[in-house]
Chains A and B, each alone.
Chain A
Amino acid sequence: MATRHPISGRVRPSTIEELSEFVRSCKEPLIFGAGLERSGAPTVFRERSQGFSRNASALSMKGLSTESYVTQIQELSKDAYSGFVRLDMAAFAGLIDYEPKDMVVKVGAANQIDITVLDEGDGTTLTLSEGTLQNALMREGQCLPFAHPVTQFGFELYSNQSGGYVGRGLSLNLPHPTQTQCGSWRDWVIGMTLVLADGSIVKTGSKVVKSVAGFDAHKLMVGARDTLAIVVDVTLRTFPLEKLPKPDIVVGPAWEEPHLNRITLLQWIQRVHTTDYDRAVKACERNMVFADTKSSTIWCWLDNPEQELPRYPGDWVMRTGCGTKNISITDPTQIALMKKAKSIFDPTNKLNPGEFGFL
């Protein structure tokens, strides 16, 4: 059975059976995937987990002896992870099944999505890193249709938009600039293997692009921030690379900001009706990094976590680094249904508790 690593304090199951057994027997909260991102509601688990990572980094810079380093890391992780389990899903990476003719791929949830790009002078030459999903697909002339990072943006916006890993990407379901033309996770995911909060291993969906066989439980996982089940592997439909459209982007004043990593620190993503888009873009003024005209979505960075930009009827906003304002769900019907779903899927609130604030 999977156990806590003696140094890092994380639990890293190596097979789905180990994961299932561990989840079944574990009584403590499990923090993983989206639960580690800064875009969810603030939770003590996230704070302590991120605190541990920061302290571990600082410790590694001190030039300690191995023995001393190990002892201090163990102390740090014992403190940080007391009362909950930091679940490490790294073992669930890898291409499981890929049939280019059918344009369907099955991949482990912990597989990296992105390509790593090297700028070789003209900014259009790509070097693909090994092991990523996009790398494997692009070799067959296919892709997941996120916008191409280098030729269309000039910098690595890409990883920020995708969520980095397959499972995390779909559980966050962040908007991206080719969404209107190519769809998003909800449209690409056709099947999953899950481990439920009671440890059961279940399958949902299929590996064909069109299926009406029962309820699409896999689609319920999209955007669920890993609070309903643990996604182990995902079956996705792919897209022909040569058909990948150029996004219809306008860049804002903040595009040229020297601290581009700020867009991952205090971020505001807003989607409005088409009829409000022009006004919304104008109103963002200097905060706007870029906007996608096709989906009427605007990406901004904020001066401080309390800052509010103009809102419009029917719009929605997601934030990063803004504490309780990160996710704001106010519709009472939606809240009631989410609570009901959570109580059915995770009755002891074991999976990333607090991720949505009220859940």
Chain B
Amino acid sequence: MADDLQSRMEAELRELLTPERVISGRDVRRAYDCDAYTVDRSAPSVVVLPESTLEVQAVVRWCVAHSVPFTPRGAGTGLSGGAMPALGGVVISLKRMTAVLEIDIPNRQLKAQAGIPNLRISQAVAEHGLHFAPDPSSQSVSTLGGNIAENSGGPHTLKYGVTAQHILQVTMVDPLGEILEIGSRVPGAPSYDFLSLVVGSEGTLGIVTEAWVKLTPLPAAVKTALAAFSDIRSCTECVSEIIASGVIPAALEMMDRNILVALKAAFKLEFPEGTAALLLIECDGEPDAVKKEMAAVEAACLSKNTTSFIVAQDETERQKLWTARKKGIGAMGRLAPTIVTHDGVIPRSKLPEMLEFVYAVAEKHNVGVANLFHAGDGNLHPCFYFDDREPGKIEAVIEAGEEIIRKCLELGGSVSGEHGIGVEKLDLMKLMFSEDDLRLQAMCKQIFNEGVLCNPCKVIPDQKGCVEHKKRWRGAAN
């Protein structure tokens, strides 16, 4: 952006907010040019930090009046480039909007600003025996608004559902700067379900600034088990076996050998000799039901030749079992300096075939791969580890990722289980959806956003004014 325009933008936005909440400069541009998906980058001109819905509205209206693109951002933990300012402009960071606005315990609802970290919602109501059920692995950092944008899942999605099932109503600044309330605190009213469009819209239909969420009672009892297997196939087949037994576990997570190697290197965690894969299974609910469910789970694991089945005896042991799952990605840094985590989803019954394919693809491209994922949902996260200083490695990993997604589609899955499309998977949308299908998607978007300023170039491929920028995003990463 030309210097005089930049100066004017900063000055006018500082008048709308306060000077210290409008930041710019080289370091700011670098810090905000991507989210946790670092392959594509595009710098903003300026970053603003509003503290209220009205301030967000003021900034959006300024952007509309001056035809400046704007991109919402939560914690920047997204994994598909959803918070990358594709056409530059203004990044509207909601990280200062962290207040709990209202708690209604009798109705089991809570209202919060969208910048609040997910975990803080549960912490605010824990004393009442309630929690906010969606628990993405990033929950200590990722924001409610980001969870809404990506319809986040997490390990407990299998039983408790994704974010969409826990959002009642949102306050949103639409792409023209109008404040809308979508949904209702008493759900199910006869109408079109616009809330279901907004949740999972990746910030392209407007900027959610506040939300009423459902609170879920904490379970009376929880039992967590770790089952080890000496071969991958037995482990993946066990997943279907557990579900077929009629149990809906609260969580059903899988980790393979390479994750265990990383965990041992990073945290000195030990696992049974010869373990090729682990299943972490959690059952919760009424104590009698939990006991029965865990017995059924154990029977399923034994039928698939588990070599070790450990049930946590108390909360400390339970946390220890979860350590392997929660620290797995972080531990990958012990294996290589660069990690790229992919996201795909397949029918649960296709897990065995899919995992074998993932290993074959990694071998073909000569990169390491470890798998740590939500087996109960069929939601894979192959983690490729490599040194990005080696020539050609980034390209190899991107190609490997595409091959994995193509296989997911071939097996009846989807291009994304929970990370979203962002910019990462724009081209892959054309593999999953026809031209007419994508036109339907564009019609949905058009209900709220007919312009090109609000988080442009995301989700729908080949949007006007975006195609020519793709090379710049990739080039900026280098």
Contacts and interface: CB of A to CB of B under 8 A. Distances in A.
Interface of A: 99-104, 141, 173, 175, 179, 183-184, 186-187, 194, 196, 200-204, 206-217, 219-220, 222-225, 228, 240, 242-243, 271-275, 295-296, 314-316, 318, 327, 329, 333-334, 337-338, 340-341, 344-345
B246 interface: yes
Interface string B118-129: 000000000000
A341 B194 CA distance: 10
B436 A210 contact: no
A351 to B, nearest CB: 13
A273 B186 contact: yes
Nearest to A193: B437
Given A214-B441, A240-B248, A338-B191, A183 B196 contact: no
A5 B348 CA distance: 45
A99 B108 contact: no
Interface string B174-213: 0000001110111111111110110011000000000000
Given A175-B188, A344-B447, A210 B440 contact: no
A167 B415 CA distance: 26
A223 B345 contact: no
B443 A344 contact: yes
Given A216-B164, A338-B192, A344-B443, 4 more contacts: A207-B412, A210-B153, A337-B194, A337-B447
Nearest to A100: B244
Interface string B366-378: 0000000010011
Most buried by B among A208, A242, A334: A208
A220 B197 contact: yes
B7 interface: no
Given A314-B184, A344-B447, A242 B240 contact: no
A99 B411 CA distance: 13
A68 to B, nearest CB: 43
B437 A204 contact: yes
B472 interface: no
Contacts of A217: 197, 440-441, 443-444
Contacts of A187: 161, 165
Interface of B: 106-108, 150-151, 153, 157, 161-162, 164-165, 180-182, 184-194, 196-197, 200-201, 240, 243-244, 246, 248, 345-349, 374, 377-379, 412-421, 425, 429, 432-434, 436-441, 443-448, 459-460
Nearest to A337: B194
A194 B429 CA distance: 19
Contacts of A344: 443, 446-447
A211 B345 contact: yes
A209 B439 contact: no
A317 B182 CA distance: 18
25 contacts: A99-B349, A102-B348, A102-B378, A104-B347, A173-B188, A186-B196, A203-B437, A207-B347, A212-B416, A213-B429, A214-B438, A215-B445, A215-B459, A219-B196, A225-B190, A242-B246, A271-B186, A271-B187, A274-B107, A316-B188, A316-B189, A333-B181, A334-B194, A341-B447, A344-B447
B193 A186 contact: yes
Instruction: Please list the 7 inter-chain residue pairs (A to B) with the smallest Cβ-Cβ separation, ordered nearest first.
Output: A219-B196, A211-B414, A316-B189, A215-B444, A102-B347, A206-B414, A101-B349
A324 to B, nearest CB: 14
Given A220-B192, A274-B107, A344-B447, A194 B186 contact: no
Nearest to B350: A102
A70 B188 CA distance: 44
A102 B447 contact: no
B184 A333 contact: no
B349 to A, nearest CB: 4
Contacts of B448: 337
A206 B432 CA distance: 9
Contacts of B185: 273, 314
Contacts of B184: 314, 316
A161 to B, nearest CB: 13
Contacts of B417: 208, 210-212
Contact of B414 (A173, A202, A208): A208
Contacts of A104: 347
Contacts of A341: 192, 194, 447
Contacts of B445: 215
B198 to A, nearest CB: 9
Nearest to A204: B440
Contacts of B151: 212
A155 B372 CA distance: 48
A200 B421 contact: no
Given A101-B244, A209-B378, A315-B186, A223 B193 contact: yes
A101 B243 contact: yes
A214 B419 CA distance: 11
A101 B348 contact: yes
Looking at A210, A214, A273, the one whose CB has the most chain B CB atoms below 10 A away is A214
Nearest to B432: A213
Contacts of B191: 223, 329, 334, 338
A196 B440 contact: yes
A18 B235 CA distance: 47
B442 to A, nearest CB: 9
Contacts of A219: 193, 196-197
Given A208-B414, A214-B433, A314 B186 contact: yes
A212 B444 contact: no
A208 B196 contact: no
B165 to A, nearest CB: 6
Contact of A210 (B181, B201, B345, B432): B345
Contacts of A225: 190
A343 to B, nearest CB: 9
Q: Which of B157, B162, B196, B374 has the most CB of A within 10 A?
A: B196
Nearest to B150: A212
A274 B443 CA distance: 36
Contacts of A224: 192-193
A206 B459 CA distance: 16
B46 to A, nearest CB: 29
Q: Which of the listed residues A206, A210, A329 has the most CB atoms from chain B within 10 Å of its own CB?
A: A210
A333 B181 CA distance: 8
B246 A333 contact: no
A208 B180 contact: no
B197 A216 contact: yes
Nearest to B428: A213
Which of the listed residues A179, A215, A228, A344 has the most CB atoms from chain B within 10 Å of its own CB? Answer: A215
Contacts of A200: 436, 439-440
Nearest to B106: A275
A146 to B, nearest CB: 15
Nearest to B349: A101
Contacts of A202: 434, 436-437, 439-440
B190 A173 contact: yes
A333 B195 CA distance: 13
B201 A183 contact: no
Contacts of B447: 337, 340-341, 344
Contacts of A271: 186-189
Contacts of A243: 246, 248
